[in-house]
Structure 1
Amino acid sequence: MVSLVSMSSLGGAAFWVTRLLPVLLVFLYAYWPTLVWMEDTWSREPDYSHGYLVPLLAAMLLWHRTATFPGVRAEPSYAGLSLVLLAVVMRLAGRLLYMDFLDAYSILPLIAGVVWVLIGPEALVWALPAIGFLFFMIPLPYQAESLLSWKLQGIATGLSTGLLRVFGQPAVSEGHVIWIAEQRLVVEQACSGLRIFIGVAALAFFWAVMADRNWRDRVVLLVAVVPLAILVNALRIVSVGLLYKWFESESMRAAIHDWTGYLMIPVAFALLWLLKVYWQSLYRPVEQLTAKDFVPSSSTGNA
């Protein structure tokens, strides 16, 4: 029979010092170059600037779920070494093939394996959403990033051209270029919407885990990420195209380009939040219903 021990009966900080602190020190020593590479990418690439927040939000997910913590196994679960071994293989492959991203992705099975071994498989299931959320702090492989950006560029160009025509503009697209009369608007890779897409996906995942809802509501929130991110980026391109007609100064156009990019991220978050609130108002959990929800409205007459 498996014995689980509550956190309060583990001698407080002594448990974490004896079990987790040595592992944490070894992890920092072994993965320091990888962590430095990720931080450098966060600081240089706007698409991944959210990486600084991901570990903090993952910790918030764990804190939110403390009430359901299953306890700690009294004895180590050595089956978890299989995930640690997987992380080692991934890291060796990343080093041999010069794939930094594979080295970084090995952090996920390593953390999962350590939790499994030191705390138990029940705790691994409990912590899995927070561990999975750490995926968003790791830069995408170059090939995947380029392919995704190229696809998003094409979709954003086509949708933006259509929206500009709705606003009465003589817009025509050629590849990733939009012509508005004599004005040429290039939808570059940096304007593909990848930053909005990743940011909205991370926020949707965070809300899906935090929300006390069923799986259907969480899936709806995650599925909404793709069309919402595409729409918001298209609105940004349309805004730039319309404002460029009023401002011809290069300095003003540079400011418009930058500030519309900054503003679209909170706009995307606000739209996602509105969708979340609207969906929750339509489908409330049974435990939140009251007697009024089952009483016919007085304005409804009998046939």
Structure 2
Amino acid sequence: MTGQKVWFITGAGRGIGSDLVTAALEAGHNVVATARDDVAVTAEVGEHERLLALAMDVTDPSAVDGAVRKALDRFGSIDVLINNAGRFYTGFFETLSPEQVRAQMEVNFFGTLHVTRAVLPVMRAQRRGHVVTVSALVGIVGAPFISIFAASKFALEGWMESITPEVAPFGITTTIVEPGAFRTKPPKDRGRTVFPEIAIEDYAEATKKHTESVKGFNGKEPGHRKKLASAFISIVDMKQPPKRWVAGDDAVEGIVAKGRQLIADATAFSELSTRLAHDD
């Protein structure tokens, strides 16, 4: 579909979410911008005749269903879904409580599923649509101190890759976006980061070091968010959008290296790996 579209964006109250709202409006699209607090959306991007700001918690399926109904009442369709809402739980695995682990998955993974489950019937009825899910470099490349955040993004990667052929017969395309580090606005966006609850002596020194590193990096990330938002518009406007789009020099470098490592791992023990079939 070309021309004006209806975008449904989650996590639109700050960060790249609010930048995407502004970019989509400037490109001439209608935008449904959702956040836990709808006032946060208008505080960031202002009022606009083509903007519908809605309060919506992605972990509440009834709230999601209500937001989708309001979007249809206002604009009549949903052409582009941007699954952007998320939280960042950081810490060594053993230092994150079970409650923190579940909370991470509830927002980043299950919340994304709730929203997509509500929007797909609309897109199927239209026989068109584009589902864009924001993953991360760490959805491909794991790293210490972010194991649970990475797990939530790895889960999104597998789910998105698998539903792509499921929804393709209905004219629905999908794109996984894998950004590297993009600059935040400290201290405001620092609220997205949740640190560990459990103190374990063996991890104490490393936890302190990594925590200081995370806090020190906030506001110094190499990526430019407005450039990222502009690139999103280009991706969505493509006649054949990519199934994956890697965003940022750091992400390209990291994912290319991971790809090479996967090939090396797959071929390292070929005699063991390829002689496991039945002989008959």
- TM-score bracket, shorter-length normalisation: under 0.3
Q: Normalised by the size of structure 2, how large is the TM-score? A: 0.27
| Bigger share in strand | 2
Larger relative helix fraction: 1
Between the two structures, name the one with larger relative contact order (CA 8 Å, sep ≥ 6).
2
Whichever of the two has the greater Rg, that structure is: 1
TM-score (normalised: structure 1):
0.25
